Structure 1
């Protein structure tokens, strides 16, 4: 006698039948749930075996498949099994007799006593009783059948369990064999995870710096921290699908995707792939026309080898038949272990090795020496609102309430226009570059009429919203914005200003359509709801047209008797820049230059010249207005400069963040604050000369200070802090007394600690009206 699972060489024919049934009647997926409940009631001894079987199969029979379908299903299982049995052999299964006869016609069968109407047949007996009545000389069954119908019966000693092409005389022997198989497969998965980790570590960052990449392999801890995430995903795939090949592919696909994204990020942005970048996946896919996302040919060969190896290993490793509750319990243990590792290793800075033990080293270098997988997981904490050490909400509130909210005086109301310029940098500040004076003539003229300085951002080549939103919030570090957030925009709303955010790009980019509303802007203008219809229906609206329209918006607001607060974010000069150039050279050719990078810098300067000229035209128009206007503009970050910053290297610009010069070259962009004649008459202090080097968080506090405004309580906190710590840089770098440091003095530490607490309070406690805060 042989059971149907063994006859068809299946783990569970009943499950296969359910899947087949739902393929033709998918709307009846709901039957799975009462089937499970029925099974639970049987397991709890609330139903006897016969009642359970009748209730279970009735769901199939109420809306049955035709006999023809079940016969086709049986033939398909038979063809796949390659197992033949003698005509005299009984085939037993916990399937109704009439259905069993369709699956294995012309066979001697022993099934459930249930008729085609789903009713119990007269004198029905349990399957175990029917087998005992036949008294078979031998019984060969699957582990499932043995556990359900044979275990602890009189014919247990005559039964052999067939699984993994082996026969077992006891269930204990079968379990021991499965445990050995499982452990062997786990070891194989770890070996595949290790091989995948090594290969993808090189894929992710070797093109950036091979020497730094090799540092990973000098530390057993770092190697393990990069292997384990891949192994865990492989193990989860194995426990869920019980297939070695699928399990390996789950881990490999994850590793390959993260490694390739990291490769492209380092190539195009000189910055690695972090957890927070996942939310920008749609943006990246829509930027495909600007960047090439095709990896080197050798990467395709490596990926092919990995995938083929997964298939080969899976082909030779036998699948275990662990029970579902064992797999579920193991999944739970994997989850608990993963949480422990996250909290005690992956998110702990002490294990995140410094590149060359240099706290000044660039983030990308530190990312590479720790391995892309460990570093990516470590970056999860960067997307959280981290509670400062020793934080006390009451103390932070008290420190904030020490300041008194102040309205803008009626005789000092000004229009405030802020413009963030895409990838705007003044390359003429590097004296070794003989750039045509006409490129920055407009910028320099406006700067001479106002106050010009350096803005120390924390981004390079991308991530524009980091600078953009720090200006609006006054935060030194951005956290996820998922709802209404305290910002300076709300202060202007409270002062009865008209507030608008304007960007001639897509509203979905960086989720601006929602986040700028969360920041308090009354209206937001994007290409789809404004610029295409009212300014220019082109891919990139020139800055000249953006600025001309901005003046129109200002005039319209002032005509209504209101003042205007605006942030405009431009698109012109967005990278990458073509490696072909046929215009007038704005930078003389020098020996040692190469054609591609020379084209990049000249294409960039050509666009910047247009922006520079447009800025001068804008200030000329604003100066002719009777209404007082303050204008501030800045670059959001340095421009893209070829793969691995090849253009900067060609120009001899030091970007080594281990030096103050390199750090400032990497992160600093120009800013200018300017006022028209009408504004100068009522401002407390005119914009003139060289302005301080500041973080984006201080842009609006600088304007408020010159205008003679105090503003909200938080604004006053920043006004007082700026003199002590004017720059909050990347990874605990600070500008103090003109020098960058990672070790501020005692008084500065106290000021930073106090500010961190107040900043966290502002992030975590939204105030609809700061005027009412006490």
Structure 2
């Protein structure tokens, strides 16, 4: 062989190697995203057949999802620079997102949203729910694949990209993902041509139709709440004038105060997952698990609240009740406590403080959960008693008992000279309910249920029985002392009774476990939570068939003959025209149901949306034109001072107060 031929072969060797390297990389870039999409959809949908049916029925959407996964793959490749670790990290990232979406859909009917990324400690709350054998097997398989790829990368060719190529590829991929996320015009055209159709009002259907990667990306833009059409200072000035006129009319025709000039304690108790299990058809109970609630439904004002949540998201219900604002105007799956409330906002707490009350929040769980310890300050609460302020409390199951919470409500009222507004959130009956936490139930359930479903329902029902008893204990105390008091008792949402709404489906409460296929009547049933009231001063008895949580505060102030600030007066008037408002369910005054706001109510709802936007995101024009302490609330300067100085009530103090109340002491 001549020297020149040898040199040519030596030069051709590296060139051929580079060619094969680039060919393998190109093949991987084409195949891996397709495999990732199928794997993600298999995990999210729960079985191979549904994933294949979606793929074969929606080839364009499949390609669109693969394109988005391709850009994610490129971003990781640009950062890592080696092919096999990039594949491993891509599998890990997208699989984890898909597992989260799968479990969220199973548990509460909602998929994984972009803003869920910011739920750090809160996300651990569902950890016990995903440790079943089948779940651990799936997760273990995914982790096994990731580990195998990472180990293989030490022996197989590294297939690197040069740093210049990595910079160009990475920046191009980030730009593409950003464009799709913010719905840039060119990206919007691509998604439209590929058959994307965003279903904002039903996110489980949105993810099911479009695929997880595409639906997740389309939701990115929803993290920013857009300004409502027509929102500006002149329009808010006109609305302010209308509100002042309307509030004046309501004041002139207001109900007489039934408390003869006294200020009653006002106690809201939002009992965790409280619902009436006797509403389930085709099952019977060995005894009435909620005799107090059922009696109050006959004797006092009561009805059903339309909750924006199912199975979780307690803080969103608090948000609606305390502020009078609606989750319907915020992105699906968002959490205002985490995302939006970082400055003072008008709330019932601030309203009662202006009336001379002491406002206190009580929650028998961690104060940091859902950012409550900060949010309650911005809402104008004077104090927040969290789990840390419960000294040596009684537990039932994994959580502080409802009875213990009742004891602390009594102790706080009896030890405070001022009338009190207390907003209480309990924890005892938090799911899941397949843990046999009580070692057996006092209430036995009979019906055509699987053993697992029967055990779940009996465990939940025992929690209902305890909650009902704690309410009766509170009523007994104020009946005995005679101190003017109003109690409002309700649940935040229906309980999650097994995966795929298992107990509800087995009993026939719903026709299908597929929430996107529910009728409007089924949707209403799955969001309707009973509420009851009690007072030791006669109040009018009213039956309320449906009322959104966002209207509850205004309704109760009006019911008690208290003067409503302008925005809550608007809520009260709107609730008479449209008592029910959810993202995908509207109920009008004639109890007609709609999946969207009917034309006759569009202007009223538009005003409601503008009032909320002005308060939460806008320039607070309304406060400029309405001189109202309610609209100009500030955080209490002494917020939680009593618990900073005195971290927890002593057991002696609590026992002494309860003993005094038992003797009839005020």
Q: What TM-score range do you get, normalising by the shorter chain? A: 0.7 to 0.9
Matched residue of 1:288: which SS? helix
Question: Is residue 2:580 matched to residue 1:741?
Answer: no
Q: Could you tell me the TM-score, scaled by structure 2's length?
A: 0.79
In 1, Cα distance between equivalents of 2:399 and 2:600: 48
Match of 2:484 among 621, 625, 628: 628
In 1, Cα distance between equivalents of 2:267 and 2:11: 75
Deviations 1:698-738 (A, max 9, x none): 11111111122232221112111111221111346455521
Match of 1:642 among 478, 493, 498: 498
Query: What is residue 210 of structure 2 aligned with on the other side?
Result: 370
In 2, Cα distance between equivalents of 1:634 and 1:468: 11
Q: Assess if the C-alpha contact under 8 Å between 1:237 and 1:250 holds in 2.
A: yes
In 1, Cα distance between equivalents of 2:397 and 2:12: 64
Alpha-carbon shift at residue 201 of structure 1 (Å): 1.0
In 1, Cα distance between equivalents of 2:132 and 2:373: 27
Alpha-carbon shift at residue 310 of structure 1 (Å): 7.4
Match of 1:614 among 466, 470, 483: 470
Query: What is residue 714 of structure 1 aligned with on the other side?
Result: 567
Matched residue of 1:771: which SS? coil
* Shift in alpha-carbon separation, 1:343–1:213, aligned structure 2, 3 A: farther
Alpha-carbon shift at residue 194 of structure 1 (Å): 1.3
Query: What is residue 450 of structure 2 aligned with on the other side?
Result: 594
Structure 1 vs Structure 2 CA RMSD: 3.7
Query: What is residue 412 of structure 2 aligned with on the other side?
Result: 553
Match of 2:306 among 430, 443, 456: 456
* Shift in alpha-carbon separation, 1:222–1:578, aligned structure 2, 3 A: same
Query: What is residue 227 of structure 2 aligned with on the other side?
Result: 387
Query: What is residue 14 of structure 2 aligned with on the other side?
Result: 166
Query: What is residue 727 of structure 1 aligned with on the other side?
Result: 580
Matches within 5 A, 1:217-236: 217-236=56-75
Alpha-carbon shift at residue 772 of structure 1 (Å): 8.1
Q: Assess if the C-alpha contact under 8 Å between 2:491 and 2:531 holds in 1.
A: yes
Q: Assess if the C-alpha contact under 8 Å between 2:181 and 2:220 holds in 1.
A: no
Query: What is residue 638 of structure 2 aligned with on the other side?
Result: none
Match of 1:565 among 410, 415, 421: 421
In 2, Cα distance between equivalents of 1:222 and 1:604: 41
Query: What is residue 277 of structure 2 aligned with on the other side?
Result: 427
Q: Assess if the C-alpha contact under 8 Å between 1:451 and 1:672 holds in 2.
A: yes
Q: Assess if the C-alpha contact under 8 Å between 1:245 and 1:311 holds in 2.
A: no
Q: Which one is further off, 580-589 or 546-555?
A: 580-589
Query: What is residue 504 of structure 1 aligned with on the other side?
Result: 364
**Which consecutive unaligned segments of at least 5 residues does structure 1 have?**
1-136, 139-158, 169-173, 681-685
* Shift in alpha-carbon separation, 1:639–1:278, aligned structure 2, 3 A: same
Q: Assess if the C-alpha contact under 8 Å between 2:41 and 2:51 holds in 1.
A: no
Query: What is residue 495 of structure 1 aligned with on the other side?
Result: 355
**Which consecutive unaligned segments of at least 5 residues does structure 2 have?**
331-335, 633-666
Query: What is residue 244 of structure 1 aligned with on the other side?
Result: 83
Question: Is residue 2:294 matched to residue 1:444?
Answer: yes
Matches within 5 A, 1:37-76: none
Q: Assess if the C-alpha contact under 8 Å between 1:453 and 1:693 holds in 2.
A: yes
Q: Assess if the C-alpha contact under 8 Å between 1:425 and 1:638 holds in 2.
A: yes
Alpha-carbon shift at residue 380 of structure 1 (Å): 3.2
Query: What is residue 319 of structure 1 aligned with on the other side?
Result: 159
In 1, Cα distance between equivalents of 2:91 and 2:179: 23
Question: Is residue 2:186 matched to residue 1:329?
Answer: no
Alpha-carbon shift at residue 397 of structure 1 (Å): 4.5
Count of aligned positions: 593
Query: What is residue 82 of structure 1 aligned with on the other side?
Result: none
Q: Assess if the C-alpha contact under 8 Å between 2:268 and 2:424 holds in 1.
A: yes
In 2, Cα distance between equivalents of 1:163 and 1:629: 92
* Shift in alpha-carbon separation, 1:237–1:429, aligned structure 2, 3 A: closer
* Shift in alpha-carbon separation, 1:532–1:288, aligned structure 2, 3 A: farther
Query: What is residue 204 of structure 1 aligned with on the other side?
Result: 44
Alpha-carbon shift at residue 414 of structure 1 (Å): 3.0
Q: Assess if the C-alpha contact under 8 Å between 1:262 and 1:273 holds in 2.
A: yes
Query: What is residue 483 of structure 1 aligned with on the other side?
Result: 342
Question: Is residue 2:527 matched to residue 1:671?
Answer: no
In 1, Cα distance between equivalents of 2:365 and 2:67: 41
* Shift in alpha-carbon separation, 1:303–1:211, aligned structure 2, 3 A: same
Query: What is residue 35 of structure 1 aligned with on the other side?
Result: none
In 1, Cα distance between equivalents of 2:239 and 2:497: 44
In 2, Cα distance between equivalents of 1:163 and 1:402: 84
Match of 1:526 among 381, 386, 401: 386
Match of 2:606 among 753, 764, 774: 753
Q: Assess if the C-alpha contact under 8 Å between 1:424 and 1:638 holds in 2.
A: yes
Alpha-carbon shift at residue 214 of structure 1 (Å): 3.0
In 1, Cα distance between equivalents of 2:613 and 2:109: 30
Alpha-carbon shift at residue 399 of structure 1 (Å): 0.9
Q: Assess if the C-alpha contact under 8 Å between 2:84 and 2:149 holds in 1.
A: no
In 1, Cα distance between equivalents of 2:82 and 2:498: 44
Q: Could you tell me the TM-score, scaled by structure 1's length?
A: 0.69
Match of 2:25 among 160, 185, 189: 185
* Shift in alpha-carbon separation, 1:545–1:347, aligned structure 2, 3 A: farther
Q: Assess if the C-alpha contact under 8 Å between 1:182 and 1:320 holds in 2.
A: no
Q: Which one is further off, 182-191 or 444-453?
A: 182-191
* Shift in alpha-carbon separation, 1:531–1:676, aligned structure 2, 3 A: same
* Shift in alpha-carbon separation, 1:537–1:262, aligned structure 2, 3 A: closer
In 1, Cα distance between equivalents of 2:206 and 2:167: 38
